[in-house]
Amino acid sequence: MRVLYDLFFLAFSLFYIPVLLLKGKLHADFPQRFGFLRGMRSAGRRPVWIHAVSVGEVVLAARLSRAVKRRFPEAPVVVSTTTRTGNDMMRRQRARPGNEGIVDDVFYFPLDFSFVVSRVVRELRPRLYVMIETELWPNLLEELRLRGVPVVLANGRISDRSYSSYRRIGAVTRRILRCVDRFCMQSDRDAERIKSLGARPDKVFTTGSMKFDEELPGPGKKPFSKEQLGFEPLDKVLVAGSTHFPEEKELIDVYGDLLNDHGDLRLILAPRHVERSDAVRIYLEKSGLDFLRFSDVIDGKKGGAKVLLVDTIGHLKDLYSLASCVFVGGSLAKKGGQNPIEAARWGKPVIFGPDMSNFREVSGVFLEKGAALQVSDAAGLKAALDGLLRDPGRLKKMGGAALKAIEENSGALERTVARISGYLE
């Protein structure tokens, strides 16, 4: 099977690497993708290896690493990422005051050729491998199993799309899942799905979503003020976070209509992929709305723009602190939705569209607690926002319900650490 998979992966790479060259995405650390880990301090020291694909998983990896270090201070921890964005963010997380030492090394995840992953596992000699969410790489997992390295799936979830894909290759999926020693799943639904795909029931646990476990901000600890962004203190603010095409166009139209009755409403628009900010800028220019880029605000540019276009990485979760209400992107565009917890942790009511399949359980919690509204289309979004903006009492009540939902669902991080601690003692 490994030979066949290597041949398949080779065919993919013959396409993948030229694309990277054309996009200019090859960089000095790219040899790490082929298993060259020179300069890593933790190589050979039996580290805990945590894998996080990109930005969202990196945040969880940092929390998990901190929790592991708290309980096992002598254990080295290394984090691998797939994307350069995730790698850069992990390095920034490590450099933040108070985060010194939470991660010993950061590197790029190896390409899943058998000879590459064999080299990496041989050099690292990990005592434990933890993958954040469902990242199943056959050759790596097989190599870890052959070398007796325990494997844990943390914050595991199985989306509708992934479930269908894994079922189509049932025999392969079952073989891969036999390489995993513990499955820490976000919900009972995810746990049942992974068992139906071939995971042994005695290895599957429902630990909850670690995304609920981000530390809540203290009173008054807002990282930004409205005045810093050129808004007035009493302005209402709609933050549309992690939007996809064509949601930005719909949101700009909805916002323009709402301004007729809510002249003090301001919009912070944050595309899911910052490289799309130029395309969104064109929508804004055609709308005639005054807008500023967030990068310009950071550079000191001021103005009374009604719209702020976020074209930077890592600031959205703090910008949520200014919101009167939040729209969760990827939900009108049928992309499975994005994480509503980052907004709710500030006590903000959230609105999302019909497709929250990637965050089904999380969105269900917020709906059940009265912390969120779900709409079917852009017209429904406009009506919902208009109603909330006319009812400050309801906004406050929904925000309080959001905080309560997070408090009641926290603890997944500690439950996950408890499940893996036996491999580190």
Looking up tokens 């079917």, which residue turns up? 376
- Taking CA atoms, 250 is separated from 57, 171, 253, 256, 268, in Å, by 29, 43, 5, 10, 14
Structure tokens at 329: 């992107």
Torsion of CA 64, 66, 69, 71, to 10 degrees: -70
d(CA 413, CA 419) in angstroms, rounded, equals 10
Nearest alpha-carbon partner for 237 in 298, 315, 167, 326: 326
Is 248 designated active site?
no
Element (H, E) at 80: strand 77-81
Is 388:349 a contact under the CB 8 Å cutoff?
Answer: yes
Element (H, E) at 344: helix 341-344
DSSP code string of 86-132 = HHHHHHHHHHSTT-TTS-SEEEEPPPS-HHHHHHHHHHH--SEEEEE
d(CA 104, CA 65) in angstroms, rounded, equals 10
Looking up tokens 């919690």, which residue turns up? 365
Q: Who's near 94: CB < 8 A, 6+ residues apart?
A: 62, 100, 102, 103, 106
Looking up tokens 């694909």, which residue turns up? 53
Q: Which of 57, 247, 248, 342 is catalytic?
A: 57
User: Considering all CA atoms of the chain, what is the largest pairwise distance in Å, rounded to the nearest integer?
Assistant: 66
Q: Who's near 152: CB < 8 A, 6+ residues apart?
A: 128, 129, 130, 131, 180, 181, 182, 183, 184, 419, 420, 423
Structure tokens at 100: 């010194």
Nearest alpha-carbon partner for 116 in 276, 257, 6: 6
- Taking CA atoms, 175 is separated from 132, 166, 169, 172, 180, in Å, by 20, 11, 10, 5, 10
CB neighbourhood size of 3 (10 A)? 8
Task: List, by residue number, the catalytic residues.
Answer: 57
